[in-house]
Amino acid sequence: GENVEQHPSTLSVQEGDSAVIKCTYSDSASNYFPWYKQELGKRPQLIIDIRSNVGEKKDQRIAVTLNKTAKHFSLHITETQPEDSAVYFCAASPQVNKFYFGSGTKLNVKP
């Protein structure tokens, strides 16, 4: 099955700096890559996703890039704010409705 690895496990940045979280996947059949944000004790919420037919997608301060050849994708958050502090999960989907999640990155944005 699919194996998704996520790095780093923790990331601490100063408010206003950028944050980058990286994921790799193993199954070349994966064609959908969502990113979820999970605040402590809350549900995971989709923040951005990318499909395999594009290499980059941007939504305000958040962007995701995908390199299918290397089987990796990254989340970029610019101008970080304290409210960006949370755990972020990447996921890959090689088949209908089956998501494989990374182990998460705890982002701490220091004011």
**Contact positions toward other proteins, by CB under 8 A?**
4, 6, 31-32, 34, 36, 42-46, 49, 51, 89, 91, 93, 95-104
Q: Tell me whether residue 70 or residue 96 sits nearer to other proteins (CB atom).
A: 96
Work out how close the CB of 71 gets to other proteins at its nearest, in angstroms, rounded to a whole number.
17
User: Following DSSP, what letter does each residue of 27-85 receive, concatenated?
Assistant: -TT--EEEEEEE-TTS--EEEEEEETT-SEEEETTEEEEEETTTTEEEEEE-S--GGG-
Which tokens sit at 10? 């923790």
Q: Tell me whether residue 52 or residue 65 sits nearer to other proteins (CB atom).
A: 52
Work out how close the CB of 89 gets to other proteins at its nearest, in angstroms, rounded to a whole number.
5
Q: How far apart are CA 38 and CA 53, in angstroms?
A: 27
**8 preceded by cis ω (within 30°)?**
yes
Work out how close the CB of 60 gets to other proteins at its nearest, in angstroms, rounded to a whole number.
18
Q: Tell me whether residue 7 or residue 51 sits nearer to other proteins (CB atom).
A: 51
